[in-house]
Amino acid sequence: NAGVTQTPKFQVLKTGQSMTLQCAQDMNHEYMSWYRQDPGMGLRLIHYSVGAGITDQGEVPNGYNVSRSTTEDFPLRLLSAAPSQTSVYFCASSPGRGGNSPLHFGNGTRLTVT
């Protein structure tokens, strides 16, 4: 199993550009989520999904869109990038709820918006 795979690893965007961060998992996990990691802020939840066709907002959803058309994929879209979105983005998945379902993280995407 590859686990959780994120692409790209690095990306530089100009303000106003759009892009999609890809996330795929091969563990048949129900739950997938996107976090952003900023110095001094920890990890903050952007969006999450509890299954194909179901998504919901997290703590900091503004400026980001998601969709979940398959169990495996959970892309994160930036429609019009802003410098405030410079961050490291992590995708994570888990089999389901409960204490036996820890999150499995991807390696992260480091995004810089100039």
Residue 68's DSSP bridge partners are none
Site for another protein in 27-86 (CB under 8 A): 31, 33, 35, 40-45, 48, 50, 58-59
User: Considering beta carbons, is residue 19 or 45 the nearer one to another protein?
Assistant: 45
To another protein, the closest distance from the beta carbon of 79 in angstroms equals 23
User: Considering beta carbons, is residue 62 or 99 the nearer one to another protein?
Assistant: 99
Near another protein by CB under 8 A, which window of 10-18, 19-27, 67-75, 105-113?
Answer: 105-113
Q: How far apart are CA 89 and CA 38, in angstroms?
A: 9
Contact yes or no for 55/82 (Cβ under 8 A): no
User: Considering beta carbons, is residue 16 or 38 the nearer one to another protein?
Assistant: 38
103 near another protein, rule: CB under 8 A: yes
The neighbour count for residue 7, using CB atoms within 10 Å, is 13
Assign residue 50 a region: left if phi > 0, alpha if psi is -120 to 50, beta otherwise?
Answer: alpha
Q: How far apart are CA 29 and CA 77, in angstroms?
A: 21
Give the interface with another protein as residue ranges (CB under 8 A).
31, 33, 35, 40-45, 48, 50, 58-59, 90, 92, 94, 96-100, 102-103, 105-108
